[in-house]
Chain A
């Protein structure tokens, strides 16, 4: 923890000079939060399954690079965004969280995606984060997505690694959704065993808005994803899906909170894990239905497949309800390979390895089939298949990986 505070004191001026007022204004408070709390221990409920101290202790070089180059439509550096959009910075994130505070402290630039009122963005906006460099590096990334009333967009954020160094990513995404807006937000991680990712997504939804969030961890080292959604406008709905494929010593922890603050909202959550070798998975998802949030409809499911005896899954679906006229359910399963299905396939001539692969792919296909964007669905089926075959897929067609 000390190393980060010392680093900040040393480079404070550089950071501030490369950043903008809205971001700099938040740094002192972030420093206080981070200094006071340090890294959360496993005793902190939402970090029960993470190993924060260990993940952050290596001596990383810390990247302080602002966003450069030409940005796609509707995307801006924060300094170039509209003033009212800039003020939304750090307004949705949980500022009491020390990992978020560390991001706020060290991040020099924010990518803003701003879709104005009534605009339906035709093509998906893709943001690729490519980790590259010979040195072990920590990256603090920040994205602010602002959907004005009735705006619609698909945003795909991919995490890739183009060199075999050790990387630590601390990413915070804030999403503000106006009334009647629709957003499909996809996060795809496809890095390598030496990559650690802390990803936090904070969403505030207005009236009749709808969010479809899908988080896919296809390849990683250690990953801890957090998703917090506040349903603040009546009639809003959220679908929060996730799929995880992990083997070797990989670790993936998804921690979610769906906060029903007003009546007549819906939430649907489905997370599926396929764990092999000695992989460790964790899912802790809380659905909070606050007092007065009547007519809430909520469904939360976490289903997991442990392909070996040494793979571990921790599953913790939670429902906390303070309203009396709601329809909520939650469930979780952890299962092994279906041996009768395996034998059935082998009897038809499919060898054991291929049969296992087909069963694993089948298990998570539900999450991919739920994705509204057809082109992405097709691409993901291919990626999942390659992943399960152990072909560490590089981002084909990308110059950096050649």
Chain B
């Protein structure tokens, strides 16, 4: 379970998150919607420990542990996975070596021996086929020369390899056409463990049609201003955010 209380965070001295409260129970899918600049990506970056962001107040408790005291890699080992809005290209580091290093680091953290090479490659093949990532991509450098859709599929593939307990999808739908979105979303549904939870950050209803969130939050100006069921996403799709911001007296 993830429990965020009164979270304040800033970047370069500018406060972006102004008191976030959010609880995500095991097995739940939460959607976070909001306009650009509301703080959605900041929230995901703070959860995974991006060094550029400074937490000035509040706490994040993950499975009873103080998440903010852990390094980014330790948070990953504790089962938190971020599907990046813009996956990073790493020329010269092959997908195979990258995934092997990641998986074996996780196993080491959990007191397990490294996975034998044969088993590892078999696992790569299995998970890869689910997101229709072809073998050529898997033998290339991390994200190098991948199309936008391939990069997003590659994120879901990595999620499948690492089997996190909490996945954050940061605008995974951005830059995807309808077919690519379907592959990514269906891949996510197939690969996600039932007891794992997810935070889905998006502008649009489209991705949520596939992912079927249990709870929908609206993030505006660094605060969660509205929380509801899946119907809230539909309403935002139809009416935009104006009716919410107006009600709060916040300038856009």
Identify the A interface with B (CB < 8 A).
338, 340-341, 343-352, 354, 358-359, 361-363, 365-366
User: Given contacts A341-B89, A346-B71, A347-B72, could you give 10 more A-B pairs where the C-beta distance is less than 8 Å?
Assistant: A343-B50, A343-B72, A344-B90, A344-B142, A347-B84, A348-B102, A348-B158, A349-B102, A350-B73, A359-B90
* Contact stretch, chosen from B27-35, B91-99, B111-119, B193-201: B91-99
Which residues 75-109 in B have Cβ within 8 Å of A in the complex? 75-77, 81-82, 84, 87-93, 97-98, 101-103, 105-106, 109
Task: Please give me the residue from chain A that is nearest to B87 by CB atom.
Answer: A344
Interface residues of B (CB under 8 A from A): 48-51, 71-73, 75-77, 81-82, 84, 87-93, 97-98, 101-103, 105-106, 109, 141-142, 158, 162
Which B residues are CB-close (under 8 A) to A346?
Answer: 49, 71-73, 76
How far is it, in angstroms, between the C-alpha of A341 and the C-alpha of B89 when the chains are bound? 7
Distance, CA A348 to CA B102, complexed state (A): 6
Evaluate contact between A341 and B101: CB separation under 8 angstroms: no
Cross-chain pairs A/B with CB under 8 angstroms, 20 sampled: A341-B88, A341-B90, A343-B50, A343-B72, A344-B87, A344-B88, A344-B142, A346-B71, A346-B73, A346-B76, A347-B81, A349-B102, A349-B105, A350-B98, A352-B71, A352-B73, A354-B101, A358-B93, A358-B101, A362-B141
A363 to B90: give the CA distance in the assembly, Å. 10
Chain A residue nearest to B92 (CB atoms) is A362
Contacting residues, chain A, for B88 (C-beta < 8 A): 338, 340-341, 343-344
Tell me the bound Cα distance from A345 to B76 in angstroms. 10
| B93 surroundings in chain A (CB, below 8 A) | 358-359, 361-362
Q: Across the interface, which residues of B come within 8 angstroms of A349, CB to CB?
A: 73, 76-77, 102-103, 105-106, 109, 162
Of A347, A358, A366, most buried by chain B (CB within 10 Å of CB) is A347
Asked if B90 contacts A347 (CB within 8 A), the reply is no
A-B contact count (CB 8 A): 75
Q: A359 vs B90: C-alpha distance in the bound complex, in angstroms?
A: 8
Distance, CA A340 to CA B143, complexed state (A):
13
Nearest chain B residue, comparing its CB with the CB of A348: B102
Smallest Cβ-Cβ distance to A357: which chain B residue: B101
> In the complex, what's the smallest C-beta–C-beta distance from A274 to chain B, in angstroms?
11
Tell me the minimal C-beta distance from B207 to chain A in angstroms: 21
Decide if B101 touches A350 in the complex (CB within 8 Å). yes
For the complex, give the distance between the alpha carbons of A349 and B91 in Å.
Answer: 19
Q: Is A343 within 8 A of B51, CB to CB?
A: yes
Most buried by A among B91, B93, B106, B141: B93
Q: Give the complex CA separation of A347 and B78 in angstroms.
A: 11
Nearest opposing residue in chain A for B78, CB measure: A349
Chain B nearest CB from A354 CB (Å) reads 6
Note all chain A residues with C-beta closer than 8 A to B87: 344
Cross-chain contact B90 with A362 (CB below 8 angstroms): yes
By beta carbon, the residue of chain A nearest B76 is A349
Cα-based distance from A2 to B141 in the complex (angstroms): 55
Select from chain B the residue with minimum beta-carbon distance to A362: B92
Provide the bound-state CA to CA distance between A363 and B98, in Å: 15
A358: chain B residues at CB < 8 Å are 93, 97-98, 101
Contacts of B101 in A (CB 8 A): 345, 350, 354, 358
Which one of A344, A348, A352, A363 has the greatest number of beta carbons of chain B within 10 Å?
Answer: A348
Contact flag A354-B105 (CB < 8 Å), given A344-B90, A346-B73: yes
CB neighbours of B76 from chain A (8 A): 346-349
Which residues of chain A have C-beta atoms less than 8 A from B91's C-beta?
362
Which listed residue, B50, B77, B89, B98, touches A345 by the CB 8 Å rule? B98
Q: How far is the CA of A221 from the CA of B88 in the complex (A)?
A: 36
CB distance from B67 to the nearest CB of A (A): 13
CB distance from B64 to the nearest CB of A (A): 20
Q: Which residues of A contact B97 (CB under 8 A)?
A: 358
**B-side contacts of A366, CB under 8 Å:** 92
Of the listed residues B71, B72, B158, the one surrounded by the most CB atoms of chain A closer than 10 A to its CB is B72
A344 to B83, CA, bound (A): 10
CB distance from B72 to the nearest CB of A (A): 4
A185 to B106 alpha-carbon distance, docked (Å)? 42
Residues of A with C-beta under 8 A to B106 = 349
Bound complex: CA A359 to CA B88 (Å): 13
> Which residues in A have their C-beta under 8 angstroms from that of B77?
349
> How far, in whole Å, are A365 and B142 apart by their CA atoms in the complex?
14
The answer to whether B90 and A345 have CB atoms under 8 Å apart is yes
Of A340, A348, A365, the contact of B92 (CB 8 Å cutoff):
A365
Contacts of B82 in A (CB 8 A): 347
A347 surroundings in chain B (CB, below 8 A):
48, 72-73, 75-76, 81-82, 84
Q: How far is the CA of A361 from the CA of B158 in the complex (A)?
A: 22
**B154–chain A nearest beta-carbon distance, Å:** 11
Report the nearest B residue to A363, measured CB to CB.
B92
Residues on the A chain within 8 Å of B89, using CB? 341
Cα–Cα, bound, A343→B101 (Å): 14
Expressed in whole angstroms, the minimum distance between the Cβ of B46 and any Cβ of chain A is 13
**Are A348 and B98 closer than 8 Å at their CB atoms?**
yes
Q: Give the CA-CA distance A375 to B195 in the complex, in Å.
A: 48
Q: Which of B48, B82, B102, B141 has the most CB of A within 10 A?
A: B102
Report how far A344 CA is from B101 CA in the complex, Å. 13
Q: Which of B51, B82, B84, B88 has the most CB of A within 10 A?
A: B88
Alpha-carbon separation in the docked complex, A343 to B158 (Å):
15
What are the 7 tightest A-B residue pairs by CB atom distance, in nearest-first order?
Answer: A362-B92, A349-B76, A348-B102, A344-B88, A346-B72, A349-B105, A362-B93
Which of A340, A350, A361 is most buried by chain B, counting CB atoms within 10 A of its CB?
A: A350
* B210 CB → nearest A CB, Å: 24
- Residues from chain B with a CB closer than 8 A to the CB of A362 are 90-93, 141
- Min CB distance B66 to A, Å, is 18
User: Beyond A343-B51, A358-B97, is A351–B90 a contact (Cβ under 8 Å)?
Assistant: no
